[in-house]
Structure 1
Amino acid sequence: MPSSTVTTALRTPARRFAAAAVATVLAAGPAVLATAGPAAATGDHGGKAGAVVLRTGLDVSLLNKTVNVPLAVALNEVQAPASAEKTALTVKLDGVDGGQPFSVLRADVAKARATVDAQKAEGFTQLVHAKVHVPGLPLLSLIEVDQVTSKALCVAGKKPVAESNLLGSVTVLGKKVTLSAGGTTEIKVPGVGDVTLGLSNRSTTSTTAAASALQLKVSVNPLKLNVAEVNGEVTLAGATCESPKPAPTPAPSKPAQDDVTPQGTKGDRPVAQADLAETGGSSSTPYIAGGAIALLLAGAGAVALTRRGRTRA
């Protein structure tokens, strides 16, 4: 066989073998990098919200004053995530009006809504054309309002907000009253009783908010329906919230060090070790690199054999 034929026959397999070894090294890099991605983080956002259209904490005394009947009810009280809309609430009290159902509130609109997500928590209530009654006064409303709303909003990382709004007129024990913002108003009706009315009670902290449109301290002595005295508190349109936990800030990535010293090192580490660490290689990386080096050496050996065969020829 001519010398040129021998050279070509040996050179071609050697080149293919060396090319295959280089391709193996290049393919190993992306495969290792693909396993080094960050893990997804999940957790509870921790926000809370609540709303209530009406809440009573009343103590009802019967005429003999030996029996006290508590009237502790809540209309449309919800915790996030929930909503409710009911325009009438009736209760029964033993010994009062023969145990017949007693209407505490009637309204055209009575909404309560509480929502929470990862960014914010919000409580909201609304009352439209509402009338509140207490035992012993079936025909005379304790209070009548045209429209009241309350909202408590807590956004993660921001200052919570609490607000209440009163629109239209307010009537207490049959008397129209003018409310003072930030204070209380006292209404006295001879032969019926006294009511102390507070407007727009709001409070906030760094992570919570609470609002109520109206708060009433009640003390009435109707002397009807076997009721001697009614004392306690009534709250209209309440809303609360608690801020969700802020999303964790990702840790800053370590900047790459590109300063290569004349001795072939990167920082205080050899170049090969530094590059291996920065690619995020796993424990299998040394084996992959070792296999690639072996393939390169085998390719070099094949090239050497080709040259030796050509010399002999």
Structure 2
Amino acid sequence: MNSNTFRMPARRTAALAAAVALAAGPVLLTAPAAHATGTGSGAQGQAGAVVLRTGLDVNLLNKTVSVPLKASLNEVKAPASARKTALSVRLDGVDQGKPFSVLRADVATASATVTPTRAEGFANLAKARVHLPGLPLLSLIEVEKVTSKAVCEKGRQPVAESNVLGHVTVLGKKVKLTAGGRTKVTVPGVGEVTLDLSRTRTTSTTAAATALELKVSVNPLNLNVAEVEGVVTLAEATCTAPRPGGKPTEQPSAPPSQEPDDASGTNGSRDTGITAQGGEPTANLAETGGSSATPYVTGGALLLVGAGAGALALNRRARARG
């Protein structure tokens, strides 16, 4: 009787322990429904600026060839800045290959900066003279001061602005510019220049600003130069906003047969490193050779072993007392 009295609680205890282990098993052996990794900060923005850029074709008088003049001053991309105030180039067949001054200015700066939340490009030009091949004494354009700025902040509408301050002289003629408009200057025996003032462009994530863009078509007939055609750009700034990001978001795990969510356009992958199955970055699984449920399987196994050992010990004590 005593033996039966002691055996019954032992069996009940063992059964209870097994029941608890089995009840807890499904919870411990199943991976959590969601797991977030990374910070979701998004991609970094971009910014750029240039004080002067030329895209010209120089046609030589005594040859049937066109020599390209593609040059830039203080062209930078974030993070960087430049402050050179002069640009000289050499062109084969022009003035016997001597250095040719394209731009001279008192101030010529360009800067581009990027932070996790902001991208900005800025160009500044003051007291500047631009020259063309074949016109060493006559300036293509003279400006007092021009600036351009493009600012792109995360979560805000990008801003682009340009300013032309003071007088502007084109091919020796003072011109009155119209904000956001187009001005044409014609000089008999020299050529024609069309100016676009303060050109700006914005989208939901980008901005670009150009203080002055000159479409050039001149025929200097000097220094072996017959024609110069192309575009000259003064003070240009651009930017691209950092991509929006935020706190980690929980993504439900998908069963093996379920197709990953492709709403992001990246075949189921996300910038935060969250995957559709298990919620762990793929690189971690490849390194360990396990799955995201491995810790839970191990914990469940240890609990079952402990419960069985406890039940066996209680049973032995009951028999010894009997």
Give me the TM-score of the superposition, normalised by structure 2: 0.68
Name the structure 2 match of 1:124.
Answer: 122
Unaligned stretches of 5+ residues in structure 2: 1-31, 253-294, 315-322
Write the mapping of 1:138-149 to structure 2, written as runs, cut at 5 A. Answer: 138-149=136-147
Name the structure 2 match of 1:240.
Answer: 238
Unaligned stretches of 5+ residues in structure 1: 1-35, 255-280, 301-313
Task: Using the TM superposition, name which of 60-69 and 141-150 deviates more.
Answer: 60-69
Please point out which of 68, 88, 91 is paired with 1:93.
Answer: 91
Write the mapping of 1:1-313 to structure 2, written as runs, cut at 5 A. Answer: 39-41=37-39, 45-64=43-62, 66-251=64-249, 282-283=296-297, 286=300
User: Does the 8 A contact of 2:121 with 2:150 survive in 1?
Assistant: yes
Give the AA of the match of 2:206: T
Percent of matched pairs sharing the same residue: 62
User: Does the 8 A contact of 2:147 with 2:162 survive in 1?
Assistant: yes
Name the structure 1 match of 2:259.
Answer: none
Change (3 A) 1:252 1:42: closer
Residues 159-206 of structure 1: per-residue CA shift (max 9 Å, x gap): 111110111111111111110112111111122111111100111111
Name the structure 2 match of 1:272.
Answer: none
Residues of 2 paired with 1:41 and 1:105: CA distance? Answer: 47
Residues of 1 paired with 2:223 and 2:85: CA distance? Answer: 25
1:73 match: secondary structure: strand
Residues of 2 paired with 1:41 and 1:211: CA distance? Answer: 33
User: Does the 8 A contact of 1:89 with 1:103 survive in 2?
Assistant: yes
**Aligned Cα root-mean-square deviation (Å):** 3.3
Aligned-residue offset at 1:115: 1.5
Aligned residues: 252
Residues 49-88 of structure 1: per-residue CA shift (max 9 Å, x gap): 1111101111111113512111111111111121111100
Name the structure 2 match of 1:274.
Answer: none
User: Does the 8 A contact of 1:129 with 1:146 survive in 2?
Assistant: yes
Give the AA of the match of 1:74: S
Task: Using the TM superposition, name which of 141-150 and 242-251 deviates more.
Answer: 242-251
Residues 12-52 of structure 1: per-residue CA shift (max 9 Å, x gap): xxxxxxxxxxxxxxxxxxxxxxxx99644477624211111
User: Does the 8 A contact of 1:65 with 1:228 survive in 2?
Assistant: no
Residues of 1 paired with 2:64 and 2:304: CA distance? Answer: 95
Give me the TM-score of the superposition, normalised by structure 1: 0.69
Name the structure 2 match of 1:17.
Answer: none
- Bigger Rg over Cα: 1
Task: Using the TM superposition, name which of 48-57 and 59-68 deviates more.
Answer: 59-68
User: Does the 8 A contact of 1:123 with 1:239 survive in 2?
Assistant: yes
User: Does the 8 A contact of 2:36 with 2:249 survive in 1?
Assistant: no
Aligned-residue offset at 1:295: 11
Residues of 2 paired with 1:122 and 1:58: CA distance? Answer: 28
Aligned-residue offset at 1:117: 2.2
